[in-house]
Chains A and B, each alone.
Chain A
Amino acid sequence: MKIEFKNVSFKYQSDFDVIKDLSFVINTGEMTSIIGPNGSGKSTITKLIMGLLVPNSGSIYINDVLVTEENILNIRKNMGIIFQNPDNQFVGVTVKDDIAFGLENKCIERNEMFELINKYSTLVRMNDFLDSNPENLSGGQKQRVAIAGVLAMETETIIFDEATSMLDPIGVEEINKTLKMLKKEASKTIISITHNIEEILYSDNVLVIDDGQIVAQGKPIEILSNIELLNKVGLDTIESVKLINMLEENNHKEIIEELWKLTFNM
């Protein structure tokens, strides 16, 4: 699915624009990471893509078709999003009901629903929990259910909005695996908002957002090796950036070069 923003601006009830004259293109089958400090507008961008928010000016094209109020419901059927908080997107009373929720909305036949639920709950290894209630699941498990719920809808595009930020390292690792598998085998268009270095390295493109604007765009290695840029937009929270900053302070140039080579297998 090709996603194109043309001079999009957006503001909430307040006076100032949260998204400022933003233009970019995401091509079919690509995986794009969006990085940027808290409050820079990343979540707002994903909601604009999903048509959950409408731009104040500018236009959004999906597969070269201008998104309007009339066609958004149909376009949205081809997109899915996983949010940050696993609790607030769990609609069903049980895991099975929750995965079914999107399928019910798509008016999918009951038999087919069961097949899809089986297939995707197995994929995220939640097939033994189909009758469990969300209160009895861990955050990572709930997040995997959310992923299964979106995967089961078999959309062309999947957006991850900091889907791993509330999980423990094991949970993050599991979701990363699923993501890699999706990219490799399902050739979906994936957009991931993340500060996880592994995920960023795995993507085809990186967009760096600051204050509602794109400040840099490129291959992961180009972006990640631009320490100045990352420091400027306050992304020194990324682990490797921290390490490099520390080494640089002590003038360990050679070590840094070696580290970069190791990290990126150059």
Chain B
Amino acid sequence: MNKMAFGQFYNSNSLIHKIDSRIKIIFTILFMISIFLVPTNNFILMGSLFVFTFFIVLLTKVPLNKYLKSLKQIVFLLVFAFSFQMFFRNEGTVIFSYNLNFTWINITISIILLILYILFNKYLPLKLLILVLLAILIIYILGIPMNANVINNNPVVIRIYKEGIISGSFIILRVLTLIIFTTILTLTTKPTDLNNGIESLLSPLELLHIKTSIFAMMISIALRFIPTLFLEADKILKAQASRGVDFNEGSLREKIKQIISLLVPMFIVSFKRADELAVAMEARGYVPGEKRTKINLMKLKFSDILWLILFIIVLVGLIILRVLI
């Protein structure tokens, strides 16, 4: 847990790393709007944005597996969105249909297979692969028409429509592009720069007497203390492990007890920290909302403006297309 740092910044000296964080935030937002302006099922446009995104990914000089890592977290979402589109659409051209027979023979065989899987789960290699194979096998078994004591008279028909697959794929492409693009922002921008960028972008709100600098200070303090708190949690976990608490075993009730035994000291330590930090900040002359100079100055370069223009062109182009189509 030592290397745990907030965000997932990857240090490199790429073209994208050098772009002003404010510009990166703005063009990420512009690009998100662009993605949502692509007409549904327009694969050519969406595909172009995807290729464009991929091109920028290559420019970042960040290893591709860093991107894959952030995509891994949304695989479930993607599968879910795709299945939803596929199974819950009921008009258009059927390209595939399948009968599920819920007779007692089909069901018994399926259940026996499931029980066998659960029993031998522990000894199996490649669990995930076997689970997927098992699911396919069960679907296949349910598909065999049996002339047996019928539980449900009519087989349940599952129809897959061409339109379902198309819109499912489109949604996947859209979400992928979106996630990869936002990952570019977090991978190539230091958390501090991100924070300074947000503060700078929000600063016009100060005119409305909204103290955005306090908000920015809060984020900055959070960025500062999240790694410390992780270290602390790690320490407490180790201390409790040495006293024989095992966080992986035990019933739900024991688990809850163990989590509480972690949270309580964490809370106490955090409050003490927050208290001492507040005093230390005040002692060094910090008055919330008061005017202060900044060491991290942000200066727009000419190339930053060019980047911004590029993304404005993409957005405007899409708006024009939408009006025309």
The interface of chain A, by Cβ under 8 A from chain B, is 47, 50, 52, 73, 76-77, 80-81, 83, 85, 87-94, 96-97, 100-110, 113-114, 117, 133-135, 149-150, 153
Q: B294 near A: Cβ within 8 Å?
A: yes
Instruction: Report the nearest A residue to B195, measured CB to CB.
Output: A93
Residues of B within 8 A of A107 (CB): 291-293
Give the number of residues in B that approach A within 8 Å (Cβ atoms).
Answer: 31
Instruction: Report the nearest A residue to B284, measured CB to CB.
Output: A102
A153–B290 Cα distance when bound, in Å, is 18
Known: A80-B283, A105-B284, A153-B284. A110 touches B276 (CB 8 A): no
A153–B286 Cα distance when bound, in Å, is 13
Nearest CB on B from A102, distance (A): 4
Q: Contact between B224 and A92 (Cβ–Cβ < 8 Å)?
A: yes
A103–B296 Cα distance when bound, in Å, is 12
Q: B42 near A: Cβ within 8 Å?
A: no
Q: B319 near A: Cβ within 8 Å?
A: no
Nearest CB on B from A136, distance (A): 10
Give the tally of cross-chain contacts (CB within 8 A).
89
A103–B7 Cα distance when bound, in Å, is 27
Nearest CB on B from A101, distance (A): 6
Which among B223, B224, B273, B292 has the highest number of chain A CB atoms within 10 Å?
B224
Instruction: Report the nearest A residue to B221, measured CB to CB.
Output: A91
A76–B281 Cα distance when bound, in Å, is 12
A197–B287 Cα distance when bound, in Å, is 37
Residues of A within 8 A of B224 (CB): 90-93, 134
Which chain B residues numbered 1 to 54 have a C-beta less than 8 Å away from chain A? 5
A108–B282 Cα distance when bound, in Å, is 17
Residues of B within 8 A of A94 (CB): 192
Residues of B within 8 A of A92 (CB): 224
Instruction: Report the nearest B residue to A112, measured CB to CB.
Output: B293
Pairs A–B under 8 Å by Cβ, sample size 19: A81-B283, A83-B276, A83-B280, A87-B228, A91-B277, A92-B224, A93-B192, A93-B224, A94-B192, A97-B295, A101-B281, A103-B293, A104-B293, A105-B286, A105-B290, A108-B293, A110-B295, A135-B231, A149-B284
Residues of A within 8 A of B297 (CB): 110
Q: Contact between A104 and B287 (Cβ–Cβ < 8 Å)?
A: no
Residues of A within 8 A of B231 (CB): 135
Instruction: Report the nearest B residue to A146, measured CB to CB.
Output: B280
Nearest CB on A from B96, distance (A): 54
Residues of A within 8 A of B220 (CB): 93
A121–B294 Cα distance when bound, in Å, is 18
Known: A88-B273, A93-B223, A97-B192. A80 touches B292 (CB 8 A): no
Q: Contact between A87 and B286 (Cβ–Cβ < 8 Å)?
A: no
Q: Contact between B223 and A89 (Cβ–Cβ < 8 Å)?
A: no
Contact of A113 among B192, B286, B295 (CB under 8 A): B295
Contact of A110 among B280, B290, B293 (CB under 8 A): B293
Residues of A within 8 A of B285 (CB): 73, 76-77, 102, 105-106, 153
Residues of A within 8 A of B279 (CB): 47, 52, 83
Known: A93-B223, A96-B295, A135-B228. A80 touches B284 (CB 8 A): yes
A153–B291 Cα distance when bound, in Å, is 17
Contact of A103 among B273, B291, B295 (CB under 8 A): B295
Q: Contact between A104 and B281 (Cβ–Cβ < 8 Å)?
A: no
Q: Contact between A104 and B295 (Cβ–Cβ < 8 Å)?
A: yes
Known: A47-B279, A104-B293, A107-B292. A91 touches B228 (CB 8 A): no
Q: B227 near A: Cβ within 8 Å?
A: yes
Instruction: Report the nearest B residue to A107, measured CB to CB.
Output: B293
Instruction: Report the nearest A residue to B4, measured CB to CB.
Output: A135
A94–B231 Cα distance when bound, in Å, is 17
A109–B293 Cα distance when bound, in Å, is 7
Q: Contact between A101 and B284 (Cβ–Cβ < 8 Å)?
A: yes
Q: B197 near A: Cβ within 8 Å?
A: no
